[in-house]
Structure 1
Amino acid sequence: MSPAPNPPLIPCNPWIVLICAAALVTIAMGIRQSFGLFLRPIELETGIGREAFGLAIAVQNLILGLAQPFVGALADKHGAGRVAAIGGALYALGLALSATVSTALGLNLTLGGLVGISMAGVTFVVAIGAAVRAVPPERRGLAAGIVTAGGSVGQFLLVPVAQGLIGAFGWRETLLIYAGLAAVMVALAIGIAGRPATPSTMQTAPAQGLGEALREAAGHSGFWLLNAGFFVCGFHVAFIGTHLPAFLVDKGLDPSIGARALALVGLFNILGSYVFGMSADSWRKKHVLAAIYLGRAVVMALFLAFPITPLSATVFACAMGFLWLGTVPLTSGLVGQIFGIRHMSMLFGIVFLSHQIGSFFGAWGAGYAYRVTGSYDLAWQLSIVIAVLAAALNWPIKDAPLLRREAVA
């Protein structure tokens, strides 16, 4: 006889889950979004060039994506708390080891590989999965928006801190300090841990198997359109987050402008994530997603159409920040709306894999284009084209819930 499956986990107090899930993403994404500030100091001290640094960040994004479906499935089965605790510990270890490297290989193994796999346990797939299970269905979009906004709070707070620490102590010491901060996530993971369900709290409908959920998603055209759109989102976020500070320096601006721009992206995305999270409970999510991608195309085109100045960089950061991660609560909300929440972390993990493949090309591809052409022009132009394409792909998604799966969830 096969062993009995683990009973599902019931979330604890919703407010505790939301606060801890948002705090996890705040730390994890705040540290992650500061990595672009390390490019120039590492290049100057070690000789590791922009393409090599971009490759390390690309590897990080790719491994994060590859791990997400498996980590999401583990969170669905064993609980988000356990997965997040392991992820937080590995994140701290990866940052500490990154502070010791002096070669491109070492950077790829630590900042790329180890940090990449650790982030799978402490970012959106696990945290949003825990949050939406803790609230009623009519509040799931808002819950996902609050957790997503946590990543922007971290970007707003921790990117300027990283810039100050690098200037005061150096990039190696800054990574060690952030390793200590990452270790706090182990304690925060307790807050998103659930308690085992009892017979009185369990649903009576038969549980949908993992294989059945995968086959159902694979046969739904909307699932693949979501994957394609999220690929574009990943390309944008990785390209801008990794290369915008260097792009602005190349245009003659002070390095502090790049740090301020990334911080403003985070600040304005707090508002954007909240607004788009609320919209997920009120409007057709696919239409809002299309509008976000089209808005990104317009913002980037206008940014490049005018001279690059501190003012234009600030306006661009504010506008792009509002659109930055608003795709996350909408995309995850569509996954839950169509397929239910029983296997939401695993299914959203697959969609997030597509996001991270896009991130790979956004981080590494832009660095490669810079090495070949001597500028970021090609990367910007491609970003605008695929933004328009993503808007077109999201509009026709069939977003009606699959009733049988919704009943099971």
Structure 2
Amino acid sequence: MPVHLSVPDDPGLQGENDMAAIDSTSRSGPGWRTPLVIIICGSLIGMLTFGPRSTVGFFMQPFSQEFGWGRDVFALAFAVQNLLWGIGQPFAGAVADKFGSVRVIAVGAFLYALGLIVMRYSSTPFELNIGAGLLIGFGLSGCSFNLVLAAFGKLLPPEWRGIALGAGTAAGSFGQFIFAPFTVAMIDNTGWQATLTTFGILMLFVIPLALVLATPKAESNAASPVQEQSFKAALTEAFGHRSYVLLVIGFFTCGFQLAFITMHLPAYLIDRGLPAAVGGWVIAIIGLFNIIGSLTVGYVQGKLPKRYILSFIYFTRALATVAFIMLPLTTTSALVFGAISGLAWLSTVPPTSSLVSLMFGTRWLATLYGFAFFSHQVGGFLGAWLGGIVFDKFGSYTPIWWLSVLFGVLSALINLPIVERPVDRTVAQPA
């Protein structure tokens, strides 16, 4: 019978396993699928899927005025979208890990497009929750940048991964930069219905792009305990690992802050007397500066401890929020807040994804990152929903701004004890 020895997971062995998977993919796939082509197509998917979603706040007031709804109605639909995106992400990641990414991304893009069309024809809160909530939420779980980053981890050589994770994250922000002013202009000139229809058509372009991100199906490898690890064993290992749990808890704050700002910042600026176009440019500035932030973090995470990078990001967000709500609000101060927030916007994603990969390898990367992302989306659900409820009750977003500051400080502290090394893993040896 086998004798079980507890030994550290060898990073060199893990790298050899990853490279073997990459070599196998390269031999079985078309020769034109170079690392650069993979990064470009994955980045286009991130841009197309994240861009329309980042503009959801611009539809809240048109919907509310059209149907006489309170802000809590539209906020709830967006909150449901965040929650279902988070619930679906681990399962979509598990399917992609086991059977490959193409079908998952293609089905997700179709559901996303369908959700936008249903949203366009919604006239009741229930219909809005089906379109904007259920369909788009589950659609995003299959085609968002999370699946793209996991595919990058499986398809690209180690020397390409850091910059690819930064580029894939930055691409979503570039989509935000493009779509934010474009959405404001389209709503003003063609109406919110035509804008949503246009977004639905654009989402179908994700399907052919997904072919480039085809990852191999999981295969049993007797020589590799990493490849043989089961789904249940991977989850047991991850949630019994203190550093992973801390990472998951800290990621909650990221979702809370991003969802609240995405959903409610445009309306907040209008409430304070600024034109709607300013909200469009602030969201666009967030996207533009996040390109800088994500690429910078993608580069420096190979040189600095990732836990310190995450703590710095969360603390920076907290300080920026305090300054924003305490100082007089002007167009300039709003744009400055957008720039600082942008630098720290999605720049948490590359180090978070890299830490999961470092701790557990790439075999169940999409799945384990998916569970971390579920925490992110629970935070997003509360950030979007509580923003609407608090405003309708108190006529102000101030309590949620301060709650966001508190969460930022707590997450800055939570990430500091994370240990950045591969998990100790039991390896079976012949008797």
Same fold (TM over 0.5): yes
Alignment-derived partner of residue 91 in structure 1: 112
Q: Taking structure 2 as the reference length, what is the TM-score of the superposition?
A: 0.89
Alignment-derived partner of residue 281 in structure 1: 302
Alignment-derived partner of residue 69 in structure 1: 90
Please, which of 46, 63, 68 is the counterpart of residue 42 of structure 1?
63
Matched, 1:170 2:191: yes
Cα shift at 1:203: 8.2
Cα shift at 1:404: 4.2
Residues 366 and 196 (structure 1), Cα distance of their counterparts in 2 relative to 1, 3 Å cut: closer
Matched, 1:243 2:258: no
Contact 2:184–2:280, Cα closer than 8 Å, also in 1 = yes
Alignment-derived partner of residue 317 in structure 2: 296
Count matched residues. 398
Q: What fraction of aligned residue pairs are identical, expressed as a percent?
A: 41
Contact 1:290–1:392, Cα closer than 8 Å, also in 2 = yes
Matched, 1:326 2:347: yes
Q: Distance in 2 between matches of 1:194 and 1:271?
A: 29
Cα shift at 1:136: 2.4
Please, which of 193, 202, 205 is the counterpart of residue 224 of structure 2?
205
Cα shift at 1:48: 2.3
Contact 2:260–2:387, Cα closer than 8 Å, also in 1 = yes
Residues 136 and 301 (structure 1), Cα distance of their counterparts in 2 relative to 1, 3 Å cut: same
Deviation by residue 1:62-116 (Cα, 9 ceiling, x = unmatched):
0000000100001101111221111111111110111001111111111111000
Cα shift at 1:194: 3.1
Alignment-derived partner of residue 354 in structure 1: 375
Deviation by residue 1:251-297 (Cα, 9 ceiling, x = unmatched):
00001000110000000000001001112222110110000000001
Matched, 1:122 2:164: no
Q: Distance in 2 between matches of 1:102 and 1:47?
A: 11
Q: Which runs of 5+ in 2 are unaligned?
A: 1-20, 27-32
Matched, 1:29 2:50: yes
Matched, 1:380 2:401: yes
SS at match of 1:66: helix
Please, which of 191, 209, 214 is the counterpart of residue 235 of structure 2?
214
One-letter identity of the residue aligned with 2:203 = A
Contact 1:297–1:387, Cα closer than 8 Å, also in 2 = yes
Please, which of 358, 364, 367 is the counterpart of residue 343 of structure 1?
364
Q: Distance in 2 between matches of 1:243 and 1:92?
A: 24
After the TM superposition, which residues 250-261 of structure 1 pair with which residues of structure 2 at under 5 Å, given as runs?
250-261=271-282
SS at match of 2:274: coil
After the TM superposition, which residues 382-401 of structure 1 pair with which residues of structure 2 at under 5 Å, given as runs?
382-401=403-422
Cα shift at 1:405: 8.6
Alignment-derived partner of residue 269 in structure 1: 290
Q: Distance in 2 between matches of 1:196 and 1:251?
A: 53
Deviation by residue 1:134-164 (Cα, 9 ceiling, x = unmatched):
2222432221111000110100001111111
Cα shift at 1:20: 1.3
After superposition, the CA RMSD in angstroms is 1.8
One-letter identity of the residue aligned with 1:309 = T
Contact 1:16–1:192, Cα closer than 8 Å, also in 2 = no
Contact 1:339–1:405, Cα closer than 8 Å, also in 2 = no
SS at match of 2:201: helix
Larger Rg: 2
Residues 379 and 218 (structure 1), Cα distance of their counterparts in 2 relative to 1, 3 Å cut: same
Please, which of 10, 15, 34 is the counterpart of residue 25 of structure 2?
10
Residues 131 and 405 (structure 1), Cα distance of their counterparts in 2 relative to 1, 3 Å cut: farther
Cα shift at 1:210: 1.1
Residues 403 and 258 (structure 1), Cα distance of their counterparts in 2 relative to 1, 3 Å cut: same
Contact 2:35–2:160, Cα closer than 8 Å, also in 1 = no
One-letter identity of the residue aligned with 1:157 = I
- Which deviates more from structure 2 when the two are superposed, residues 137-146 or residues 125-134? 137-146
One-letter identity of the residue aligned with 2:48 = I
Contact 1:129–1:344, Cα closer than 8 Å, also in 2 = yes
- Which deviates more from structure 2 when the two are superposed, residues 88-97 or residues 355-364? 88-97
- Which deviates more from structure 2 when the two are superposed, residues 86-95 or residues 60-69? 86-95
Q: Distance in 2 between matches of 1:140 and 1:194?
A: 15
Q: Distance in 2 between matches of 1:75 and 1:253?
A: 44
Contact 2:97–2:217, Cα closer than 8 Å, also in 1 = no
